Structure 1
Amino acid sequence: MMIIGEFAFYLFMEVLMYSVGRFVIPVISFGRARAARPREIFSRKPLPPHAEDGKLLVPEWGVAIVGLLTLTAAIALYIALR
């Protein structure tokens, strides 16, 4: 049963929250930051803080946290205005 919970948590954080974060980060930073692409995450070289195009790179865990905070704020706003 524990492995099912761990798999569900992984899907929630890595798929749903990462997807939300990838959408939200360029919007809230006005295009000055972007999420690290999977190719950059899984490369052997360390992830630099800035990309070649001058944008700030947000690591995978940061993108998931931004997605989680966005979802939490959206739910709180929905409950407050309901």
Structure 2
Amino acid sequence: MTRLDMLRFARRVVEQQATRQLALIDRWIADEEQREAQRRAAGARKDRAAAWLIQYGLNRTNADAMHVGDCWAARKTGRCRVAGR
């Protein structure tokens, strides 16, 4: 094997390693972009308060009360659902 053959071999090895590392970094970037999009979506859902909430009784079938979306009592009971149109 000549010196030129060894240099070409070394170049191919470095090129393969660099390609693998770039693919790995691209995968990390895509994963982080997906996590960031999920965080933003969760924040948007959290910021969007319901306009009205229906509070259900202990048996969870009978409606007991209506609450404004940011009512402290509705958060306290934990038995409320968002009222649809």
Which TM-score tier does this pair reach, normalised by the shorter chain? Answer: 0.3 to 0.5
Q: Give the number of the structure whose residues are more often helix, by fraction.
A: 1
- TM-score, length-scaled by structure 2: 0.31
- TM-score, length-scaled by structure 1: 0.32
